[in-house]
Chains A and B, each alone.
Chain A
């Protein structure tokens, strides 16, 4: 059976709540069967609205949503067969774990023995066997989260939606749950649409990430490409850290351009600039700039250390470089570590291919 690359399809979807502002603008998004796709974006960027439209709790103002080729805009939520994990888990507090998991099966009139089997399977998937008779209030946050995930999967839905499911957990638990959800996805191959505003969560878990801002998908690509090759300065800013330089293109050829800053010039990789005279924001990942580079790099400058912050596995160094005192450098922690002192001058270099000239901020 070949996988349907357009299993879930948003076709020119607009959404407005008040008739004045569009929260989702002309959304075009295809989600393949079995894919783990994350909608990432700051709050108010329209990602949760998209999820709610897919679940059926909101109706698109314009456009259609298709599930496996069928238009679902007019199907009520309970007939869509889409599992959903809510931000606050939304476990039914008056039902035991077993009853919570059996709920979707009971409303589908599944036989008792079949229910027992499926509940057992779902619980073992989240390693919560033996918790059947507990009430949700007797579980820890992480356990409640797992029950919520199991409940969304127990009736074998084609798509599972997760709305910032790990937001309420502490850091360590969040990380282990990220792996757990990822492994569950890999083992049963369900299509997952995941919403989060946590970029590291998105990078860890997804096959593809759709970065939302201002009601639009800014970039849709796999995690590595998203980080390495952001297509605009919003994505570059939102995913990971970056150093930016605002300037104007003074010279451009196929894979290199010269950008004039306030009082110097740097070489960069032209991504969204086409011609001379355009304003641009150059983005450079902190780890791509090296101290005292040994091989020949086409950008070499000297900066003054303003601040050194020890982070354990790496040290962050804030430099005054090219007229900006916000240049960040990440120095990995190694035995051959350099002596880094405040107000020391150091040589910095980077390749122009890593400095991406994007749209101006």
Chain B
């Protein structure tokens, strides 16, 4: 009893706990210094870029910095009718400054994204300001409203007010085919223009089926690998790993050779009389091509975790199952299969997450109906240069993966995953 509460001292009278901490402090510092480079590396290459991506995806500071006085005055405006003289005045001075800096064009482009028609009216206003046609002595509101009739339309001023906050979620909404409506509420884009949602669903669908195909094909292979004698299993293992060592591009290209309409597979089908020569099925530039190529490419990621788990299952367990009266199927289903679940979990998670962000293969063999969300991200990074939108979609993908991981953890338990 008393020994629990009584402080234990070392021989020189220092409390044991203190002494222990002191003795271990050096080791702790050493351990930290050992992992410090990796920690630094992670921060520089992972945490920092993702943070940068996030801030880029919600950043809307450009226009906030362009029209500081306007937004200040607009705070007093209720946004229902045309703004008062003060707002027009503030806008005029902000605009004049932009004209001097020759940045008015950027403003026009930015506002045009918010509401069509801004580009031309800012250009008109620019010409008036350039020629000093605006008399600062009288009502600026009246003069601006005379420049173009849209300046008299309250919707355009509402659009300016909406751009006031330095941060916006507009890019995320766009990624889900939604946008901020005129009154600031969230609205859906027209049905025939909803491309992103289709892409997200297609990405999930393809990732799911690729995972399923990999599992169905990988399980028997892994079982064979784990049970064959060493000399055969090594050869089979090399067969599994060989594609792994070949460039992704080369593998995808070889699938293109196999699957195209004049390709090897189609030639074979025609040869055995399965299809007529003039109606060769299209197996590339659509979902079929994406499924086939991605399944083949991701198969090792399923086989390896399964193999490493199956290798640890003692063959005597199956024997025990059989000797106790279970048919081979019962012994497999009740004894062997439950023990491979950690490997199945690891393999499926690995393949699914890799598939969901796959890029090169769908880009090459996917065609129009086989491209995935990652291809759309790449498109915005390289073609439209809308980096903030690409960042937003990238983060949505990352969040999606994290959500899947979370659900997975709830269902299977991460502790049950065994990667090898």
Contacts and interface: CB of A to CB of B under 8 A. Distances in A.
Contacts of A77: 319, 322-323
B327 interface: yes
Nearest to B337: A94
A93 B319 contact: no
Nearest to B331: A78
A94 B338 contact: yes
27 contacts: A55-B323, A57-B322, A76-B328, A77-B322, A78-B323, A78-B327, A78-B330, A80-B323, A83-B324, A84-B320, A84-B323, A86-B320, A88-B314, A90-B314, A90-B316, A90-B317, A90-B320, A91-B320, A92-B317, A92-B334, A94-B338, A103-B326, A104-B325, A107-B326, A155-B324, A155-B325, A161-B323
Contacts of A104: 324-326
Given A93-B339, A94-B338, A94-B339, A88 B322 contact: no
A33 B339 CA distance: 37
A81 interface: yes
Contacts of A80: 323
A151 interface: yes
Interface of B: 314, 316-317, 319-328, 330-331, 334-335, 338-339
Q: 9 shortest A-B CB distances, which residue pairs? A: A104-B324, A90-B320, A84-B323, A90-B316, A77-B322, A86-B316, A107-B326, A78-B322, A107-B325
Contact of A78 (B316, B317, B325, B334): B325
A77 B325 CA distance: 7
A82 interface: yes
Interface string A149-165: 00110010000010000
A82 B323 contact: yes
Contact of B319 (A83, A90, A152): A90
Given A80-B323, A86-B320, A161-B323, 9 more contacts: A57-B319, A57-B323, A76-B328, A83-B323, A92-B317, A103-B324, A103-B326, A104-B325, A155-B325
A117 interface: no
B316 A108 contact: no
B325 A92 contact: no
Contact of B328 (A78, A88, A94): A78
Nearest to B330: A107
Contacts of B324: 78, 83-84, 103-104, 107, 151-152, 155
A87 interface: yes
Contacts of B328: 76, 78
